[in-house]
């Protein structure tokens, strides 16, 4: 197995994408936050409001901002002019908020890390805004759901 971020001299390096073709790249990542029953709003799908403001709306803004700054957070990620980033948050009757982050760009490299970063930071923002209500919040699995474009496509099972 070849590790793409290690050069022939065994030193870390950024992957050279200069010879790759510009294609549309999309990625969809998902994270979740489980709420304790005493923190949930009256009805599923409702917005949670704290003294810091509307929780899900704020988390959406934070997630998009994070996706745009992924290259500043993760070593060797290429800076990308993201063309679209959408974050949807749905609170189910089971008390779990599902965060979906979808990112799109026309570039030489994929946007999986941007989608994963957006979903993760949205989840962290929900935790931060709700920790005064309860520390029993649980940030769940963050995972890649789908990627398209580039050498190969991926769809989780």
pLDDT in 10s for each residue of the chain, 157 residues = 566 767 777 787 788 888 888 999 999 999 999 999 887 765 566 778 889 999 999 999 999 999 999 999 999 999 999 999 999 999 988 899 999 999 999 999 999 999 999 999 999 999 999 999 899 999 999 999 999 998 899 999 8
pTM of the shown model: 0.91
Q: Of 9, 88, 128, 153, which one is the catalytic site residue? A: 128
For 23-38+47-149, which CATH class? Answer: alpha beta
Q: Is 2 exposed, middle or buried (0-12, 13-18, 19+ CB in 10 A)?
A: exposed
The two three-digit tokens of residue 28, written as one number: 């969809």
**Active site annotation includes 38:** no
């Amino acid at each position: 197995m070849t590790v793409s971020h290690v050069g022939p001299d065994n030193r870390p390096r950024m992957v050279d994408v200069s010879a790759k073709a510009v294609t549309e790249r999309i990625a969809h990542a998902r994270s979740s936050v489980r709420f304790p029953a005493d923190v949930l709003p009256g009805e599923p799908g409702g917005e949670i409001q704290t003294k810091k403001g509307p929780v899900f709306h704020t988390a959406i803004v934070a997630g998009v901002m994070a996706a745009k700054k992924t290259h500043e957070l993760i070593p060797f990620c290429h800076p990308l002019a993201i063309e679209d980033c959408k974050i949807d948050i749905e609170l189910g009757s089971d008390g779990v908020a599902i965060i979906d982050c979808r990112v799109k760009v026309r570039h030489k490299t994929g946007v999986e890390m941007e989608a994963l970063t957006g979903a993760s930071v949205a989840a962290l923002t929900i935790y931060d805004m709700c920790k005064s209500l309860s520390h029993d919040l649980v940030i769940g699995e963050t995972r890649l759901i789908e990627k398209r474009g580039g050498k190969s496509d991926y769809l989780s099972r």
